Amino acid sequence: MKPIELTVGKLHKEGVDAITLWPFILYRRGHRDDIALRAHEHFHWRQAQRWGVLPWYLWYLALVPFYFRKPSQEHPLERPAYELQWQIQEKLKAGISIEAELASVGLP
């Protein structure tokens, strides 16, 4: 199974360019072509698929109060997705292949 990727005009708050609501990945208009962002969201999609969708969301939401006033990349379920996103961005800047990173999250 693959995620259903959709482009929308707005998301729940300013500064959020994409969100995974399994089985969907929603992208704010103009951000769906950002391959590093897509990999980040596919990482979450696979997390939810591996853990089970409901347990993943419950754990994610249970941790939100502890990270409410902190940058989103500090949330334990966000950290590895951001690390993947940053790694891809750095490799793209350096002209290095990102094939392995994309394959790790099921992107061609």
What are the pLDDT digits (tens) for 53-88? 999 999 999 999 999 889 999 999 999 999 999 999
Task: Provide the pLDDT for residue 15.
Answer: 82
Q: Residues 7-18: pLDDT tens digits?
A: 999 887 788 999
- pTM check: above 0.75: yes
* 20 contacts: CB under 8 Å, gap ≥ 6: 3, 26, 41, 44, 45, 48
Q: What residues make up the domain containing 57?
A: 4-104
Q: What is the mean pLDDT of residues 32-43?
A: 98
Question: If residue 26 lies in a helix (H) or strand (E), which one and from where to where?
Answer: strand 24-28
Q: What is the mean pLDDT of residues 20-33?
A: 95
Give the count of domains, the chain.
Answer: 1
CA distance 104 to 33: 18
Task: Provide the pLDDT for residue 13.
Answer: 78
Percent of the chain having pLDDT more than 70?
100
Residue 15 sits at φ, ψ, to 5 deg, of 90, -10
